[in-house]
Chains A and B, each alone.
Chain A
């Protein structure tokens, strides 16, 4: 039994302890916004935030998450995610859209630690794959969201 918080709800999960978080989200809880892409933590389609840190959920066994807080793309957006989603639409980022949940979660993790990231910071933090090639717009949207958030603070 693993006890954790997912999108603000306490969950007690009685499931094989080595089950990756990705499959708990998708198949136990019906949270299909988090995607399966590679299964080895390489592509980042499965990225969620665990205690505010962007994490590849396909290689994260549920037993390692006792007492942790998980946020997925379906969570009620906080100010950072809301700013990212708005910027994503403003820059018309997604194409097929499959990788975009993971991209937004990775970007949220970045902005929590670095409110005004440089291009180099973005390149270092966003290692997810987008086969449609939306990287240029992702970069612009992260800068845009960061600017919005800074403006809101000032």
Chain B
């Protein structure tokens, strides 16, 4: 009890604040309905609550407080409203929500609760409730942690149901009939006994005198018309004709462009800059070193001009305190943490793992490792800012709207209400756009050149070399097998930098503390398999290399570690890797069902063409359970070639199944790039890779066939953006073992010749 309490308090969130909020319950959907002023109606529009507006033509406009970065969230959120509203999907559109308390993400911090997902004990429930309350109280209008649907599931359905009730009431008053006799279908309210009907657009104005109501009943899932059926995404038409507007595309009147070059080494700086020479360049407006000394900036009337002048400018870099750092040192640091005497923090302990290992007859041990990784979203980092007449306007494809506005105000010395933030589409996020560095830089540039809007755009090389990386990590395992080959004892120690601490230091520095970090150990401590004697411990290792959330965060490496090592145990026991896992999941029926679904659909156990082998992996993350079976062969050059991936997912109730499938496909590609190629290395304190030839990503020619199977479920929704990534690397490594008998314990996977 005490240990868990400490872990929760220390999690990502900072103990003091959690105590301040107190042990608490999640915010109720009713408290988040919002009044009509929150989602301000433009001319002719009628707001029905904080989430829904209706136009006289009957268009339904849904407030979307989350960033659309490819995950289809705008459409999925709109579906929640449209379902309970009984709207016509072809009449639904979305609009960026303003920053307001009802839009805060109460589900985000569920990801830092150090409990197994099926732990329904009092402590786990209270902790989850408190973390939801905390995220809400902090006003975290944040898109991340595969949390958007989990957060919006109740409040946005309530917004739809409430708006529906108001429209029915308006119709009943107009026709002087019982509201209970009215029917709503496809954006039309009708009264069958008197054969009268009216569209939402005709009724909208009459709702002005009706207060938002929350005394409504949700549909039974069997009544769903939209949820659970594939719906065309609302954002896609503009993404096939060039009209979609990303952050890099905003063109406010009088726009100037800024190119930037950071000191290469982490912690480095730039000593000087020849601004006189730079200003001789065609179109150049200004050239300077940022106030923090870390980057040189050239501002010009065209991006290319700024960039060319900056590239030609001799810059005198100061390497700073970490100028000799390299990857080998970091590897040694991680290894020393595992081998040293420090016991670290225990995240789960049952039985007596150390004692059992001491006297065991059949023992296995192994060390696994992964490198740093860059996010490499296709849209390079950018932010546009204008400081004019005491107001700051920002256009930024950010995952952290409320924090971006707050930080911009802080940098500019303004009140938050003097900052207007526009969030265009994001050309990929993957966790990189949870950061505020681009906001801080763009605001600093705008303050120096008041009046004009200025678009800061990083080069691909800057994007690659000044990321907040998926941390390098290393894990040791020791296991003992019983007479039947089952794991009797399991000791897992994971050494890595703390993403939780690094994130808090950057985003909410007043709350940062070096405390146990669930994100670092997630996917390791909550091992689903039955092991009587189990100990999972965390060792936090500090590094100057900035680390951050990379699609699936700690799961991205812990899944590779644990699912590879379980595979080792299966082979050591002489058992089939699927049957071995299955036999250890008696107490985890959802896990077992997902594993069985993947195996069945993949034809596990059936013969394959010569030179092909299968591997399997199972992993739960962000409230969803995913199993994948990989089929791999070797190409003529001896490199692995993934032919087929069968993916099974239990994400609870499914909102838009086609979007869920797309997320699985994408998450698998993201994980395959890491498994086959991904590696960021450090030399002289700086990242060695600069562009795609040295940081290769999966391309179409290497794309396997991906088949996704969704488990039918009426359970509460789980996350979807990230859970497809963790299993792919171990499934592939396990397939390569089956094919070659080589156990690859580090990423990227490199077979010995």
CA distance A94 to B71 in the complex (A): 10
A96 touches B700 (CB 8 A): no
Least CB distance from A98 to B in Å reads 3
Question: What's the A-B contact tally at a CB cutoff of 8 Å?
Answer: 175
Among A19, A33, A88, A135, which residue has its beta carbon within 8 angstroms of that of B669? A135
Least CB distance from A74 to B in Å reads 5
Given A27-B302, A39-B459, decide whether A97 and B699 contact each other with a Cβ distance below 8 A. Answer: no
Among B236, B427, B665, which residue has its beta carbon within 8 angstroms of that of A98? B427
Given A45-B378, A88-B240, A89-B232, decide whether A123 and B251 contact each other with a Cβ distance below 8 A. Answer: no
Given A96-B69, A99-B378, A131-B428, decide whether A74 and B302 contact each other with a Cβ distance below 8 A. Answer: no
Among B430, B665, B699, B705, which residue has its beta carbon within 8 angstroms of that of A129? B699
Contacts of A4 in B (CB 8 A): none
**Which of chain B's residues has its CB closest to A77's CB?**
B241
Q: Does A47 contact B (CB under 8 A)?
A: no
CA distance A25 to B634 in the complex (A): 43
CA distance A35 to B669 in the complex (A): 21
Contacts of B701 in A (CB 8 A): 123-124, 127
**Which of chain A's residues has its CB closest to B239's CB?**
A97
CA distance A80 to B170 in the complex (A): 49
Contacts of B233 in A (CB 8 A): 92
In the complex, chain A residues 36-74 whose Cβ is within 8 Å of any chain B Cβ: 36-40, 42-43, 45, 72-74
Interface size on B, residues (CB 8 A): 63
Least CB distance from A61 to B in Å reads 11
A139 touches B703 (CB 8 A): yes
A74 touches B241 (CB 8 A): yes
B241 touches A98 (CB 8 A): no
CA distance A134 to B303 in the complex (A): 29
A97 touches B244 (CB 8 A): yes
Tier of interface size on chain A = 35 or more
Q: Does A85 contact B (CB under 8 A)?
A: yes
B236 touches A89 (CB 8 A): yes
CA distance A136 to B302 in the complex (A): 37
Q: Mark A78-107, 1 if CB is under 8 A from B, else 0.
A: 000000110011001111111111001000
Least CB distance from A54 to B in Å reads 14
Q: Does B693 contact A (CB under 8 A)?
A: yes
Helix, strand, loop or mixed for chain B's interface?
A: loop
Given A36-B457, A39-B459, decide whether A98 and B246 contact each other with a Cβ distance below 8 A. Answer: yes
Least CB distance from A1 to B in Å reads 16
Q: Does B79 contact A (CB under 8 A)?
A: no
Contacts of B428 in A (CB 8 A): 96, 98, 131-132
Q: Mark B243-261, 1 if CB is under 8 A from A, else 0.
A: 1111011010000010000
A129 touches B242 (CB 8 A): no
In the complex, chain B residues 356-405 whose Cβ is within 8 Å of any chain A Cβ: 376-380
Contacts of A124 in B (CB 8 A): 701
Given A28-B302, A85-B240, A137-B662, decide whether A38 and B692 contact each other with a Cβ distance below 8 A. Answer: yes
Contacts of B531 in A (CB 8 A): none
In the complex, chain B residues 664-703 whose Cβ is within 8 Å of any chain A Cβ: 665-670, 691-693, 697-701, 703
CA distance A133 to B428 in the complex (A): 11
Contacts of B568 in A (CB 8 A): none
Task: Among B244, B303, B378, B666, find the residue whose CB has the most chain A CB atoms closer than 10 A.
Answer: B378
Q: Does A111 contact B (CB under 8 A)?
A: no
A123 touches B303 (CB 8 A): no
A33 touches B670 (CB 8 A): no
Given A89-B232, A123-B700, A134-B666, decide whether A96 and B378 contact each other with a Cβ distance below 8 A. Answer: yes
Least CB distance from A84 to B in Å reads 8
A43 touches B282 (CB 8 A): no
Among B302, B425, B700, which residue has its beta carbon within 8 angstroms of that of A139? B700
Least CB distance from A71 to B in Å reads 11
Contacts of A104 in B (CB 8 A): 240
Among B242, B251, B460, B669, which residue has its beta carbon within 8 angstroms of that of A39? B460
Contacts of B426 in A (CB 8 A): 96
Q: Does B321 contact A (CB under 8 A)?
A: no
Q: Does A146 contact B (CB under 8 A)?
A: no
B665 touches A122 (CB 8 A): no
Least CB distance from B234 to A in Å reads 11
Least CB distance from A117 to B in Å reads 12
CA distance A98 to B68 in the complex (A): 12
Given A74-B241, A92-B236, A94-B240, decide whether A43 and B425 contact each other with a Cβ distance below 8 A. Answer: no
**Which of chain B's residues has its CB closest to A32's CB?**
B249
Contacts of B232 in A (CB 8 A): 89, 92
Least CB distance from B403 to A in Å reads 21
Provide a sorted-by-A list of 20 A–B residue pairs whose CB atoms are within 8 angstroms.
A26-B303, A28-B302, A30-B251, A33-B243, A35-B427, A39-B460, A39-B691, A40-B693, A88-B236, A93-B236, A94-B240, A96-B377, A96-B429, A97-B235, A123-B700, A127-B699, A129-B697, A131-B670, A136-B665, A137-B662
**Chain B residues at the A interface, C-beta cutoff of 8 Å:** 68-72, 230, 232-233, 235-246, 248-249, 251, 257, 282, 302-305, 376-380, 425-430, 457, 459-460, 658-659, 662, 665-670, 691-693, 697-701, 703, 705-706
Given A100-B240, A134-B666, 13 more A-B residue pairs with CB atoms under 8 Å apart are A23-B303, A27-B304, A40-B693, A42-B691, A73-B241, A73-B242, A85-B241, A89-B236, A95-B70, A126-B699, A131-B670, A133-B703, A135-B703
Ranked nearest first, the 7 interchain pairs of A and B with the lowest CB-CB distance are: A33-B242, A133-B669, A96-B70, A98-B427, A97-B239, A95-B70, A73-B242
